[in-house]
Amino acid sequence: MGFLDSLFRRGKEAADTKRAIAFIDYEHWFYSYRNLFHMTPDLVSWRKELEQKYTLEDVMVFADFSMRPIADS
């Protein structure tokens, strides 16, 4: 069963569970929090909150971690 097949499967099992895929533009999130609120995102708490509500099928993170200050986070 492929990735999309498992995500969009039908039937009783699919109706009983809430599943999610998360795509995070971490670079945007990081600099927005840093510039607006003078803090950094808390990824661990964010993921735990999602896991309480959904079965996470996949989490994808996008960012350029080669430059400071994001590389230090």
Q: Are 64 and 70 in contact (CB under 8 A)?
A: yes
Q: pLDDT truncated to tens, each residue of the chain (73 aa)? A: 566 666 666 655 555 678 899 999 999 999 999 999 999 999 999 999 999 999 999 999 999 999 889 888 7
Enter the tokens of residue 28: 């945007």
- Model pLDDT, residue 23: 94
Asked whether residue 11 is assigned to any structural domain, the reply reads: no
Print the domain residue range for 68: 24-73
Counted domains in the chain: 1
- Model pLDDT, residue 52: 94
Q: Are 22 and 59 in contact (CB under 8 A)?
A: yes
Asked whether residue 16 is assigned to any structural domain, the reply reads: no
- Model pLDDT, residue 32: 96
- Model pLDDT, residue 72: 84
Asked whether residue 62 is assigned to any structural domain, the reply reads: yes
Residue 25 CA to residue 67 CA, distance in Å, equals: 15
Asked whether residue 9 is assigned to any structural domain, the reply reads: no
Asked whether residue 17 is assigned to any structural domain, the reply reads: no
The single-letter DSSP state of residue 61 is E
Q: How far apart are the first and last CA of the chain?
A: 36
- Model pLDDT, residue 14: 55
Asked whether residue 30 is assigned to any structural domain, the reply reads: yes
